[in-house]
Chains A and B, each alone.
Chain A
Amino acid sequence: MSTQDTNINVAEGIDHQVAMVMDLNKCIGCQTCTIACKDLWTEGGGREYMYWNNVETKPGEGYPRGWEESGGGWTDDGSERVPGEIPSREEYGRPWEFNHSEIMYEGSDEPLRPRDGAEWGPNWDEDQGGGEYPNSYYFYLPRICNHCTHPSCVEACPRQALYKREEDGIVLVDQERCRGYRYCVEGCPYKKVYYNTVSKKSEKCIFCYPRLEGEGPDGETYAPACAEECPPQLRLVGFLDDEDGPIHKLVEEYEVALPLHPEFRTQPNVYYIPPYAPGQHTEDGETVDVDRIPRQYLRELFGDGVDEALDTIERERQRARRGDESELMELLQHKNPAKQYRLGVFDD
């Protein structure tokens, strides 16, 4: 394996880098990805509170609550780590107890509801968003581990228990090495490393590597479950350094797929097509040429590249609307899984 033909900057010592592009314009917030992931990897055994994949409403506090302000990542010049905090159980959200027994067995007329302490949880602020009627707005943000090129979780571990896989750059926690110190949990600015409260070790999204390796019963290669199970098929999966693949085109050529919070300086390998909302409405219901989703808010999420990305998308939309050919619109629309998931390209 070699990378001599590519000018893509993969991490040192890594042959290739897996990557994912999520088109936020297609997300309907159904949480099928969340459940696909949970069913596979985090159903029990101290993982109950974990969502390696979650979908949160933006603007919103997210999961865990307030993760964007929880520290971690790198300083502006990328030389030093920024101190971070470990979220509390409350910030992740506790499972609630419901009054099932009263209603089912004791004839209570109460509505079904959590008993007490239901004050926060994942998606507590779902669909709340921002803005005022008639110009309220929100969009969904699906999140997994970004399998960063410059991962601060890996650097935070004093035992080198976290590492980037040489063959594809997937970031993993070696369960034999981990001693549950949780420096990775506080060091990840996306809060995508979780502490297993039973095994007392940390765990995270593994990019479904056994599926990538064809470890299932049929021996076939599959994309991560969150991608394959997505009803609107909003995710593209492949390698960043596969120059013939759609991810390379979207990220490197058209520059319309952007990392989340690039200012954390970890160089994520999950990229987002920013949300494209219709213009604001006047009180009379007239559409006006004012961004519904404040551009500044999108810049805070996806960096300054968002302006050009949205301009490019708009330009290509107009082309397609005129009946001209637009490779970008094709890339964002095609429904051929063989193109959407390009995983075997570097197999020997």
Chain B
Amino acid sequence: MTEERTRALATAVIVGALVLSSTVALTSPTVDARPAHEIPVTERPDAALGSPTAAGWSSVPASDVPLSSAPSSVPNADDTSIEQVHVQAVRSDGEFYLRLQWEDPTQNVSAASTRTFLDAAAVQFPVDTSSRPPIAMGGQDNRVNVWYWSGDGGTQELLAGGAGTTTSFPSPVVDATATYRDGTWTVVYSRELGAGEGSDDRTDLDSADSLDVAFGVWNGANGERAGRKAVSEWHYFPLDTSPQGPPYQTLLWTIAGLAIVAVVGVTAFGVLRTRSDEGER
């Protein structure tokens, strides 16, 4: 074997190794590496997680979603107090479960006096999941569906097309249950995946690969209500329904990597062989 030939082979091996290692690094589906606004959804076909204290929740990965004061024209709109909400999501065969947790040192469950306001939380989805509406209660042509829970136990399903346009559905299909323990609210929302017949105003949770979602929390003790609330930016739930998800991608990249190594190797080998043939002549 000539010196040139040895050098060419070594180059081919190094290039191949580099391609392989970078492929593996790119495609490792670790939770830490997921995009900032993605909230994972755990698939659990037989889950029954309607209760905030259901044991199943402990093994569901969570995301901490930062909140800040919503831009609003109401007085003291920038005086809000809740800074983050802990979000977990599970999809079963027919239901979507969403669990929110946040710290609030005061439990406000009655609005039965002139100056008292309720603790509350809301989840916002686009009605039409194919495009992302304006974050503040959607827009006229791009409405949002809101699941609103309040500390007095009430749950409302709302439709909005811009600030101040919130309208409740006459017969809501969202359930919410909550517990308050050690200064923390835990609220679980549940709804069937499909929007149901004739529900053009409801978000179909089963229709998109990725579902936009935003959150809002009110601290009643701080006089928070209406646009005076702590809200998140738009986040999204990846709902890709392909059976294997990330492992399928890894397999593809590995095959591609191997193919590149093979091509480089064969080419180098071919070149060297041509040269040595010429040298013998």
Name A residues whose Cβ lies closer than 8 Å to a Cβ of B. Answer: 83, 86-89, 92, 158-160, 179-183, 185-186, 195, 197-198, 200
Contacts and interface: CB of A to CB of B under 8 A. Distances in A.
Contacts of A83: 75
B75 A183 contact: yes
A188 to B, nearest CB: 13
Contact of A89 (B72, B74, B114): B114
Contacts of A198: 112
Contacts of A181: 74, 225-226
Contacts of A160: 164
Nearest to B154: A200
B164 A86 contact: no
A86 B225 CA distance: 14
Interface of B: 72-75, 111-115, 163-166, 225-227
Contacts, number: 46
A183 B72 CA distance: 13
Given A158-B72, A158-B73, A160-B164, A179 B226 contact: yes
Given A89-B113, A158-B73, A179-B226, 10 more contacts: A89-B115, A158-B163, A158-B227, A159-B165, A180-B111, A181-B74, A197-B112, A197-B113, A197-B114, A200-B111
Contacts of B114: 86-89, 92, 182, 185, 195, 197
A158 B166 CA distance: 11
B166 A159 contact: yes
Nearest to B76: A83
Contact of B115 (A88, A159, A180): A88
Contacts of A197: 111-114
Contact of B74 (A86, A158, A185, A200): A158
Q: Find the residue from B115, B166, B227 having the highest chain A CB count within 10 A.
A: B115
A86 B163 contact: no
A86 B115 contact: yes
A206 to B, nearest CB: 20
The 3 closest A-B pairs by CB, nearest first: A181-B226, A159-B164, A197-B112
B243 to A, nearest CB: 44
10 contacts: A87-B114, A88-B115, A92-B114, A158-B74, A158-B164, A159-B164, A159-B165, A159-B166, A180-B225, A200-B112
